[in-house]
Amino acid sequence: MNIWRGRHTFMAPFHRGFGAMGGMVDVSGKPDVPRRAVASGELVLQRHTIEAIRAGTIEKGEVLESAKVAALHAAKRVSDALPYTHPIPITATTPRLEVKDDRLVVTVEVKATYKTGVEMEALYACAVALLTAWDMVKKHEKDEGGQYPFARIQNIRVLEKEKG
């Protein structure tokens, strides 16, 4: 159901009713404490694509370095993409990429001293790094019909989360 509010129209959820849309959690009463999270994920690719990454012959450029830069940018922009997250003053982001025989493994560690955790920053940075790598190699992964029968992003998850 569309709801008109002055100059703005938004969608109200049917099952919760008007005014039950929620919002950001109030963390103003929480103390700032050291936070750390590590997330990981994989991009499964064909062997010839992995060989092209290792050889540095991907037309769009250096896949591993580009994915690392994308992770750094993404970790700092989570609250722009995920509306219920808080803008967090990140103190460190460390993306690592490992090339295996049939996949790229991305691991991202994020640190901050703040009132709320950084697991969404680590997950988002990991996902954006994987998407960046896919975008750079997609030419090599398409079949004759333009589909991606082999490439897939999988196993994105939080490996570690620390507070204090």
| Arithmetic mean of pLDDT, 80-88 | 94
The answer to the question of residue 11 being in a domain is no
Residue among 26, 80, 102, 135 flagged as catalytic: 135
Q: What pLDDT was estimated at residue 19?
A: 53
The answer to the question of residue 8 being in a domain is no
Mean pLDDT computed over every residue of the chain: 91
How far apart CA 133 and CA 161 sit, in angstroms, is: 25
Give the DSSP letter string of 20-31: --------TTSP
**56 Rama sector, left if φ>0, alpha if ψ -120 to 50, beta otherwise:** left
Q: pLDDT tens for residues 104-134?
A: 999 999 999 999 999 999 999 999 999 999 9
Q: What pLDDT was estimated at residue 3?
A: 46
Residues 6+ apart with CB under 8 A from 90: 75, 76, 110, 111, 112, 118, 121
Q: pLDDT tens for residues 66-78?
A: 999 999 999 999 9
The answer to the question of residue 56 being in a domain is yes
Domain count along the chain: 1
Q: Is the pLDDT of residue 13 over 70?
A: no
The answer to the question of residue 53 being in a domain is yes
The answer to the question of residue 141 being in a domain is yes
Region of poorest pLDDT, from 22-26, 99-103, 155-159? 22-26
The answer to the question of residue 68 being in a domain is yes
**Listed residue (66, 72, 67, 146) closest to 105, CA to CA:** 67
**Quick one: angle between helices 47-55 and 119-141, nearest 10?**
100
Here the CATH number for the domain that contains residue 86 is 3.30.70.640
The answer to the question of residue 9 being in a domain is no
Q: What pLDDT was estimated at residue 21?
A: 63
Cβ 129 vs Cβ 159: under 8 Å: no
Is position 80 annotated as part of the catalytic site? no
How far apart CA 154 and CA 52 sit, in angstroms, is: 21
| Arithmetic mean of pLDDT, 80-103 | 96
The answer to the question of residue 24 being in a domain is no
Q: pLDDT tens for residues 28-55?
A: 899 999 999 999 999 999 999 999 999 9
Per the structure, the complete domain to which residue 92 belongs is given by 33-163
Cβ 18 vs Cβ 3: under 8 Å: yes
Q: Is the pLDDT of residue 138 over 90?
A: yes
